[in-house]
Chain A
């Protein structure tokens, strides 16, 4: 098997620990936080654009909403 050196392993573990902490920050709420920055900078281009056509259901958009008052 490929054996990493103790230092390489240590570095990989620290990197993984750091990445998880960064991810936790990215998922935190609040406009002042990293997530807010991401939302302001990236959302228009990445997630507020029209959906991938594969994800749309245009032929029957909300066909059953007349039943929603049940």
Chain B
């Protein structure tokens, strides 16, 4: 595949969008003799600082000796990690035949997909198109626990998922979110720039995080109490009339009902729930409400709590009440970019019959981000935004993963017998890892599409080698979250037998008999199609720009209303009311520590060196964080007789992990922090599934129904009971520490 010579500095340099994490930094990639050699910052000074050490490690990842290069077919027991190499064509023929048998025997809903758009990048929603044409609604992703669910819940309140205007804001509120130099780097840079302009930063975090250390206000709330904190802020804002009365009168419904609910949360009660002094709560609320433009950026913390839906809705309500919605310095409602056909259209969500949509796992009991709510918002979404479906951050019509893996395990409410994991280490990516494992052992067909052999791939029948961002052309659009389009150019060829997910779904569709709906022969063809409404091709775009954004329009709702059933901001949600849930936000207490399990454990924490479960096999990154570390306060360590650097065992009612202890004064007493996604590629061949059950946080958290957020079915990652004790070093330790 050729690249445009006119568009680059030299024949060896291209511009790429990094997908090693989910932020999408723009960088330069250099190659020599057809091989990726170096990553450098973008030459445009406005972008040059947006780079981290994971990004510059791309040559070490993409050229890695363990990279998958040939399709593999399982020859031993499932999970035994025994394979034969086969051709891509043979693999696809056999996958199509076996998937057809599953669909014939159990129905199309017996086919499920779990994927990560950050890793695969080039799917262009062809997975949804394929599934919708086949008749399966059971698509899920890590975004069901992180950002995608936030987008869906935001839509219930005002019809879109807003983006903070960091460039003009005067106040930034970080709920547990901790952007750093090497993690969420562009957000970290944007916060620093805003702070340098004089913007206030408020951090709400049990830990003294990096952001908390330099914040104007730090509220050390007890983990899992974000909803109660927001209700306290609203109490101050409403009582002191700090809200935008004109906006509330003209554009909100349910204010009086909200006021009554908020009155149930006087600051004395909020102080008791959150553990934060009431004066500090009031001061923070005032700083936020009186700033001339304030933002509450997306945070993974509120995504993963027993009161998640309420907490996310409360962020939305705070934005609306204080008049920070769709204004300069507030949070803008971008809508679809008319220059780029959205994935929402490509996914063909109308191709699947409504009765099949209704079979989506989660649709009945936890509908907030399933087809059920998307159907309720369909008409206003089309009226305001021009499309009936909105796959914002891919995440507004997904199956619930807990319900999915339960169905895979038990057959309740119906069997799921074919499972595809694309760019997604599903075994370690969702709670209740033991159930996921049982569910995968119960499958007739598992296909993994990956760049490295992961524990999930080890459980597959077929493993197809994937490509990486330096091996493909792309125009990234942040999955409709922003109206920005960014260029990513192919630098080198992928391994001969590797495929993009575009190729995978297109080739499978042709084998399954609906190839006429997949007319694009190459990635450039579908990029041309997506750009066609702007009158350009990919080559035109590549020659013109690195990035372009639609000039912002503010207060668009004055022309169109909001994309909700009432056309207004729904402080009291008609959607939740119609579904039989409480239409107003509330605080729900998570599980309480006991004498047996006295600590509050919070999981899902990202480390600088890795993105989710990835990169543990990449030397230059693993050396920065060789082993998993649990964080504990010194007082708690003393009580337990533990010291920094000890091996410890953390137990919950759901499972246990072994890790090193890091004693950190920055921790809040009574809390234990657990890093996310640990496994040990070096143990492949020595431990089952490369040590996937030794230190993975996914074994700790329960997803039993009584511990799920009601509306979304989100597990409570942030504060479930656990206990910690000294442990022997794992028997595998010599191998883990002597990796060469």
Residue of A nearest to B47 (CB): A27
Q: How far is the CA of A57 from the CA of B165 in the complex (A)?
A: 34
Residue of A nearest to B52 (CB): A55
Q: How far is the CA of A59 from the CA of B390 in the complex (A)?
A: 46
Task: Name A63's contact: one of B35, B165, B545, B619 (CB within 8 Å).
Answer: B619
Query: Do residues B549 and A24 form an inter-chain contact, with CB atoms below 8 A?
Result: yes
Q: Which of B22-55 contact A (CB under 8 A)?
A: 35, 37, 40-46, 48, 51-53, 55
Q: Which of B637-670 contact A (CB under 8 A)?
A: none
Query: Do residues A57 and B53 form an inter-chain contact, with CB atoms below 8 A?
Result: yes
Q: How far is the CA of A8 from the CA of B552 in the complex (A)?
A: 17
Q: How large is the interface on B (under 10, 10 to 19, 20 to 34, 35 or more residues)?
A: 35 or more
Query: Do residues B45 and A47 form an inter-chain contact, with CB atoms below 8 A?
Result: yes
Q: A38-B44, A47-B41, A51-B56 are in contact. Are A17 and B552 (CB under 8 A)?
A: yes
Task: Name B545's contact: one of A24, A39, A43, A46 (CB within 8 Å).
Answer: A24
Query: Do residues B46 and A23 form an inter-chain contact, with CB atoms below 8 A?
Result: yes
Query: Which residues on the B side are within 8 Å of A35 (C-beta)?
Result: 44, 546
Query: Do residues B323 and A1 form an inter-chain contact, with CB atoms below 8 A?
Result: yes
Residue of B nearest to A56 (CB): B56
Query: Do residues B548 and A24 form an inter-chain contact, with CB atoms below 8 A?
Result: yes
Query: Do residues B551 and A63 form an inter-chain contact, with CB atoms below 8 A?
Result: no
Query: Do residues B551 and A20 form an inter-chain contact, with CB atoms below 8 A?
Result: yes
Chain B nearest Cβ from A30, distance in angstroms:
8
- Residues 42-62 of A, flagged 1 when their CB comes within 8 A of B and 0 if not, give 110011100100111101101
Q: A12-B329, A21-B551, A39-B44 are in contact. Are A65 and B63 (CB under 8 A)?
A: yes
Q: Which of A1-18 contact B (CB under 8 A)?
A: 1-4, 9, 12-13, 15-17
Chain B nearest Cβ from A12, distance in angstroms:
4
Q: A9-B327, A28-B544, A67-B63 are in contact. Are A57 and B244 (CB under 8 A)?
A: no
Q: Which of B324-361 contact A (CB under 8 A)?
A: 327-329
Q: A1-B289, A16-B328 are in contact. Are A60 and B60 (CB under 8 A)?
A: yes
Q: A13-B554, A16-B168, A16-B552 are in contact. Are A63 and B292 (CB under 8 A)?
A: no
Query: Do residues A29 and B45 form an inter-chain contact, with CB atoms below 8 A?
Result: no
Residue of A nearest to B53 (CB): A55
Chain A nearest Cβ from B72, distance in angstroms:
14
Task: Name B57's contact: one of A16, A20, A23, A57 (CB within 8 Å).
Answer: A57
What is the predominant secondary structure among interface residues of chain B facing chain A?
Answer: loop
Q: A1-B322, A27-B548 are in contact. Are A64 and B65 (CB under 8 A)?
A: yes
Task: Name A70's contact: one of B55, B59, B495, B620 (CB within 8 Å).
Answer: B495
Q: How far is the CA of A27 from the CA of B620 in the complex (A)?
A: 32
Q: Which of B523-558 contact A (CB under 8 A)?
A: 543-552, 554
Query: Do residues B242 and A60 form an inter-chain contact, with CB atoms below 8 A?
Result: no
Chain B nearest Cβ from A59, distance in angstroms:
7
Which residue, of A42, A55, A65, has the highest number of chain B Cβ atoms within 10 A? A55
Q: How far is the CA of A13 from the CA of B248 in the complex (A)?
A: 21
Residue of A nearest to B54 (CB): A55
Q: How far is the CA of A56 from the CA of B53 in the complex (A)?
A: 7
Q: A2-B290, A38-B45 are in contact. Are A47 and B63 (CB under 8 A)?
A: no
Query: Which residues on the B side are within 8 Å of A51 (C-beta)?
Result: 40-41, 56
Query: Which residues on the A side are within 8 Å of B323 (C-beta)?
Result: 1, 3
Q: How far is the CA of A60 from the CA of B243 in the complex (A)?
A: 56
Query: Which residues on the B side are within 8 Å of A19 (C-beta)?
Result: 167
Q: How far is the CA of A42 from the CA of B728 in the complex (A)?
A: 55
Chain A nearest Cβ from B492, distance in angstroms:
9
Chain A nearest Cβ from B62, distance in angstroms:
9
Query: Do residues A27 and B43 form an inter-chain contact, with CB atoms below 8 A?
Result: no
Query: Do residues A1 and B48 form an inter-chain contact, with CB atoms below 8 A?
Result: no
Q: A27-B547, A28-B544, A57-B53 are in contact. Are A39 and B43 (CB under 8 A)?
A: yes
B201 at the interface (CB under 8 A from A): no
Query: Which residues on the B side are within 8 Å of A38 (C-beta)?
Result: 44-45
Query: Which residues on the A side are within 8 Å of B463 (C-beta)?
Result: none
B227 at the interface (CB under 8 A from A): no
B291 at the interface (CB under 8 A from A): yes
Instruction: Enumerate chain B interface residues (CB-CB to A < 8 A).
Output: 7, 35, 37, 40-46, 48, 51-53, 55-57, 59-60, 63-65, 67, 69, 165, 167-168, 181-182, 242-244, 289-292, 322-323, 327-329, 495, 543-552, 554, 619-620, 623
Instruction: Enumerate chain A interface residues (CB-CB to B < 8 A).
Output: 1-4, 9, 12-13, 15-17, 19-21, 23-24, 26-29, 35, 38-39, 42-43, 46-48, 51, 54-57, 59-60, 62-65, 67-68, 70
A-B contact pairs, 8 of them (CB 8 A): A12-B329, A23-B46, A24-B545, A26-B46, A27-B545, A35-B44, A59-B620, A60-B620
List 20 extra interface pairs beyond A16-B552, A67-B65, CB under 8 A: A3-B244, A3-B323, A13-B554, A16-B554, A20-B552, A28-B544, A28-B545, A29-B546, A38-B44, A38-B45, A42-B45, A47-B42, A47-B43, A55-B51, A57-B57, A57-B620, A60-B60, A62-B37, A62-B63, A67-B63
